A and B are shown apart, each in its own frame.
Chain A
Amino acid sequence: MATSVPYEEHPELAARFPELHPALTAQHAVMEANRCLNCFDAPCTAACPTHIDVPRFIKKIATHNLRGAAVSILEANVLAASCARVCPVEVLCEGACVLHHQQQEPIAIGRLQRFAMDTFYAAGGRIPQRKATARSQSVACIGGGPASLACAAELRQQGFAVTIYERRALPGGLNSYGVAQYKLRTADSLREIEQIRALGVTFATREIATEADLKELESSYDAIFLGVGLGAMHKLGIAGDGAPCLVDALEFIESYKLGRREDVGSHVVVIGAGNTAIDAAIAARRLGAQTVSVLYRRGPQQVSAFDFEIEHARHEGVTFLWGTLPIAIHHAPEDERTTLECTRVEVNRHGDFVLTADSNFTLECDLIIPAIGQSPLLTFLQRVRGLQIEKGRVVIDRASGQTTHPRYFAGGDCVNGGREVVDAVADGKRAACGIAAALGTAKEASHG
């Protein structure tokens, strides 16, 4: 059982990955806070998956009640420091800000939240422990990512004993391993997790994989939360797929964040155009690649990455090749040269891909980074008896997080197919309330 986390930031990382948005100074924060209209039933709050009371914390910044600001944020979202960095605020709170309708810049909610949280933690602030009577029941959370962290924190606050089972050395899931370094540093993710540990959540470094593991948990815990996320990234499935210069996007991001990879060569090709692909492409540029090409079989209208992410990548010097399909990787062991053979494709009226004749071309590459999504952890999930899974996603009751197995609850990527950290936090917290309600009822029932 890990009591502290073995992690040290690689010395070069900070220089190569300065934070995307500079921190607000105290005076700038107050000026920005004063710009907020303090809307009633504010649309920014409604748009936040964790419903942080935005005008409430912003007005506290304006009155220099910085501790109050952070505490009110934490009431809604225990991972508020990382959310302030990684949330796509453009499509969440800031996207809903009424100032858009007045042709004004929206309030910089994300940066204000980060200012409040950073100031709070820098001053040695701790997540306030709620007064709750200790409960006899205990809960296991499988997976140590944001969904489980939020679920565990809320359950602890309500008096339950909680253990998080994480198979990897560092807790935090994608927050620690998979978010672009210029958005969230591993050290910051871990610092936040220490806060949750301090609430009394137990962390166990252990993989829960087999039916026997599940049986064991079922016999020792009153409820189990599945915050397992998604599994391995999809393989390209083309000729030469095993070439040595191939590394999937998550493995790539993890390796540079942990300092295992400092060099990417001159030419990098990223395949896919989701947000993870963009994170990988930008990182490749920052790590010194001369060219980084993002290949996507459809057009810019169909990408799943946010517009502002694509824009950011362009600014960093990433090139996009739309309507392009990789068909084979050619690796010449004698001179260590690898080329990627591609072809142009179009989508016809019926939605089928049609290869454009004679459009093949090759790209020279030192590194190929497939980023075409993660597959669900089906084998594992199917080991939970009675768990309904649809299109690879665990089916839950949205309000309580309860799965079709009444003692199992779930949230995060394994439920939503892969969304944002803040969605996982919201799921985890809702599930915690669902678990508390279910266990509360069970207890009352046994008394009755």
Chain B
Amino acid sequence: MADLNCNFAGIASPNPFWLASAPPTNCGEQIMRAFDAGWGGAVWKTIGEPITNVSSRYSSIDWAGQRMMGLNNIELISDRPIEVNLREIAEVKRRYPRHAVLASLMVESRREAWHEIVKRAEDAGADGLELNFGCPHGMSERGMGSAVGQDPYYTHMITEWVKEVARTPVLVKLTPNITDIRTTARAARAAGADGLSAINTINSITGIDLDTLTPRPNVDGRSAHGGYCGPAVKPIALNMVQSVMADPTAALPLSGIGGVATWQDAAEFLLLGCTSVQVCTAVMHYGYRIVEDLADGLSQWMDSKGFRTLDEVRGLSLPRVTDWKHLNLNYKIVAHIDESRCIGCDLCHIACWDGAHQCIHLDRVEGPRDGHVELHTTPAAHTARSLGSIAVTPIPRLDPPREEHGPYQAPLARIPRVDESECVGCNLCSLVCPVEQCITMQERPTGEAAQSWEQRVAEAGTHTATETGD
């Protein structure tokens, strides 16, 4: 069995799965239940001068019948008194000494205020501190949260204040609401931060109620922008994680956040260099119990790949992300349709015609032709033919089967065909195909040596130089 023990800049936890600072970490009672369920650590709901929240607070994006693809909130930091939160931290640590408890902090931008809260949190027994420079709503209007996190100068200044007194590792939680997240990561690193957390929520308006014309969530007829999270934000988070970890002046131990819901998501964050991951929305959706498969799935995968520890996994995919200019221009793949799996939905045909390169055709029956668009029957002509056809209700045992089926489950006329001479290998058809493994992308050796755009430009430059030299 793979060893999931995690050491984050000196903060130990039995696994890399931490609850993100949010409603699932509001109070000690919750966090203790979470630890019982299997969570390795928890970042306490941000502690600071108690605030007053509004109702309602959340709104979400559903997609094609799936609930909560993305979640938006306009909640502020903890609404509980600082001393209550600190007393409960002490209690949790006493009962769960092996689990990681981090205190997320946010106070006004005064050196003494930060000094005081850091000392109180550490005295309570926190294993580490997470500076919430990310909250994108409400708190930023008061000069806190992302107001700090969007400015490298303030990020540096407050991180430095904290480091003056902190005895435990200090993590800076980065906001994604910034042009280049590396600038604030570098500032945190330069100020002595021990680690980073990324990302916090993304500024968002999830939608508008088309009856009341008020965006959601509705607070007495009005709304405000909120912070977006959940499965929808994972790609954005992964990209930000990669850009920080690929920059030697920004990289620090990183706790990856944003849309983690499955063990695969977690593995991806680890592969891009994260040491732990944090989860909020998935827990708000399904409860603490999801950690069982997060841990089980991750260790099964590690076993199957022969990884023994998280250290062996961390960052393995980083070298595989490069700049576009280094990609091989002479690598060619084409789409291939497995006729025996095809169900004849013809989604690949219309996707390639309208959204790609007009090279998936419905001409198996009339006889294939290769080449440019003019040679082929257009999608509109196919539809017109169907609408002009005369269909009748078949009477059993009286009418012969309507379609000539051919050797495959779908009728031949509906199984599309790829014209490889025109296919650019964009992947689109394989992405729209509803059947797994039906459209695969296959390599067609070009016989040419690998060449990147950078090399091509450089070579062209040499040639030009030679030519002008002549």
A interface residues (Cβ-Cβ under 8 A, vs B): 30-31, 34-35, 37-41, 43, 45-49, 51, 62, 87-88, 91-92, 98-99, 101-102, 301-307, 398-399, 416, 419-420, 422-423, 426, 430
Contact = CB atoms under 8 A, between A and B. Distances in A.
B349 interface: yes
B344 interface: yes
B396 A48 contact: no
Contacts of A426: 390-392
Contacts of A49: 390-393
Contacts of B342: 101
Contacts of A40: 345-347, 349-350, 379, 382
B365 interface: no
Contacts of B394: 91
Contacts of A101: 342-344, 409-410
B397 A304 contact: yes
Interface residues of B, number: 32
Nearest to A93: B391
Given A43-B414, A51-B387, 9 more contacts: A39-B346, A303-B397, A307-B396, A416-B392, A419-B393, A419-B395, A420-B393, A423-B392, A423-B393
A399 B388 CA distance: 9
B179 interface: no
B304 interface: no
Contacts of A88: 393
Contacts of B362: 41
25 contacts: A30-B65, A31-B65, A37-B434, A39-B344, A39-B346, A40-B346, A41-B346, A41-B362, A45-B386, A45-B387, A46-B386, A46-B389, A47-B391, A49-B391, A49-B393, A51-B391, A88-B393, A91-B396, A99-B343, A301-B397, A304-B398, A306-B396, A398-B390, A426-B392, A430-B390
B402 interface: yes
Contacts of A416: 392
A120 B161 CA distance: 65
Given A43-B414, A46-B386, A37 B345 contact: yes
B383 interface: yes
Nearest to B436: A102
A91 B397 contact: no
A40 B433 CA distance: 12
B435 interface: yes
B25 to A, nearest CB: 33
A98 B344 CA distance: 6
Contacts of B398: 304
Contacts of B64: 34, 62
Nearest to A102: B343
Scoring A38, A39, A98 by chain B CB atoms within 10 A of each residue's CB, the highest score goes to: A98
Nearest to A88: B393
A248 B386 CA distance: 40
Interface of B, secondary structure class, is loop
A284 to B, nearest CB: 23
B298 to A, nearest CB: 30
Contacts of A35: 65
A430 B397 CA distance: 27
A46 B391 contact: yes
B343 A47 contact: no
A203 to B, nearest CB: 27
B402 A47 contact: yes
Scoring A37, A43, A49 by chain B CB atoms within 10 A of each residue's CB, the highest score goes to: A43
A101 to B, nearest CB: 4
B386 A98 contact: no
Contacts of B402: 47
Nearest to A101: B343
Contacts of B344: 39, 43, 98, 101
A48 B391 contact: yes
B385 to A, nearest CB: 8
Contact of A39 (B347, B391, B396): B347
A57 B383 CA distance: 16
A335 to B, nearest CB: 42
Contacts of A92: 393
B343 A98 contact: yes
Scoring A45, A46, A305, A420 by chain B CB atoms within 10 A of each residue's CB, the highest score goes to: A46
B386 A41 contact: yes
A390 B434 CA distance: 47
A423 B402 CA distance: 15
